[in-house]
Amino acid sequence: MLIDWFTVVAQLLNFLILVWLLKRFLYQPVLDAIDAREQRIAKELAQADATRDAAEAEQTHFREQQAALEAQREALLATATADADVEGKRLIEAARQRATELEAQQTQRLATQATALRQALAERTQREVFAVCRKALGDLADAGLESRMVATFVRRLQAARATDEAALLAGFKASVAPLVVRSAFALSDADRAAVQAALKDDLGIAQAPQFEIASDRVAGIEIASAGQTLGWSIADYLDALQASVAELLAAPAPVPPAGEAKPSIKLKARSDAE
């Protein structure tokens, strides 16, 4: 008999025991370990996916932020450029205006200086001219300049009756205000008498004039009453001389030939209000 039934039963039991033993010591632990590893790998993969997603989201966010910053930077730059242009134009305009003001001030200062210089020069010229004239007349003709001037003044007054000054002389005659004879130098008694005689006899002015000395004047003689003045001067002569000097100051130009300026001595009416 090849089959021993006791052995069959024993082997059946042995096999069942072996099944249990191997389940307990082999399959279960190994499969559990494999499952744990698979879970761990799956978990790590999921974590990696999550990390990658987060990184991609972060990257997207960062790119958007960067683009926004770039746009903002461009906008700020454009604004700053525009502001800088405006500010530059404003500064240039302000500088131009300031330069214009400074130029005007400088021009004004130069004009003031030129005027002062011209006045000083005129005065000096007047003094020098009269000093020369006086000396020349005294040395060559044995005549006083002042006396000659008074004589000329009287002669002119006499001649004025037929000229434009006639109305003015009529005003003097009708005026009740005191009549003043103003001269740059002290008149001698003879000169005063000559003037008084001319006024009384030739012009018909009965009022006795008062004689005054105008120390601020270089030369000349005039009569004045109620704000009206009649006198003679060498103003035109001096004006021509001043114009010539001004041209010399402004630009180097050839000096005009002598005799071009022709000073004239004539009576000139003016108002004190001028």
Partner 1 sequence: MHLSPDDIILWQFGLFKINATIAFTWALMAVLTVGAWAITRRLSRGLARSRWQNLLEIIVTGIETQIADIGLVAPRKYVGFLGTLFLFVATASLFTIVPGYEPPTGSLSTTTALALAVFVAVPMFGIAECGLREYLAAYVKPTVIMLPFNIISELSRTLALAARLFGNMMSGTMILAILLTITPFIFPIMLSALGLLTGMVQAYIFSVLAAVYIAAATRVRPPVPGGAVADTASANTL
Enumerate binding residues for partner 1 (CB under 8 A). 2-12, 14-19, 21-23, 25-27, 29-34, 36-37, 40-41
The 10 Å CB-count burial string (b at 16+, else e) for 164-201 is: ebeebbeebeeeeeebebbbbbebeeebbebbbebbee
State which residue, 31 or 111, has the beta carbon closest to partner 1: 31
- The number of angstroms, rounded, from the C-alpha of 38 to the middle of its chain's C-alpha atoms is 89
Q: Please give the helix or strand (H or E) that residue 100 lies within, else none.
A: helix 28-136
Q: List the structure tokens of 8.
A: 């069959």
Rounded to a whole number of angstroms, the minimum distance from the CB of residue 46 to partner 1 is 16
C-beta of 80: minimal distance to partner 1 in Å? 58
Closer residue to partner 1 in complex, CB, 29/88: 29
Q: Which is nearer to partner 1, 47 or 113 (CB)?
A: 47
Q: Which is nearer to partner 1, 2 or 176 (CB)?
A: 2
Residue number with CB closer to partner 1 (17 or 82): 17
Asked if 161 and 199 count as a contact pair (C-beta separation under 8 A), the reply is no
- Provide, rounded to whole angstroms, the least separation between the CB of residue 9 and partner 1: 7
Class of residue 34 by CB neighbours under 10 A (exposed 0-12, middle 13-18, buried 19+): exposed
Q: Considering the complex, what minimum distance in angstroms separates the CB of residue 29 from partner 1?
A: 4
CA dihedral 40, 41, 46, 50 (to 10 degrees): 100
Give min distance, CB of 47 to partner 1, in A.
Answer: 15
Q: Report d(CA 249, CA 253) in Å as an integer.
A: 9
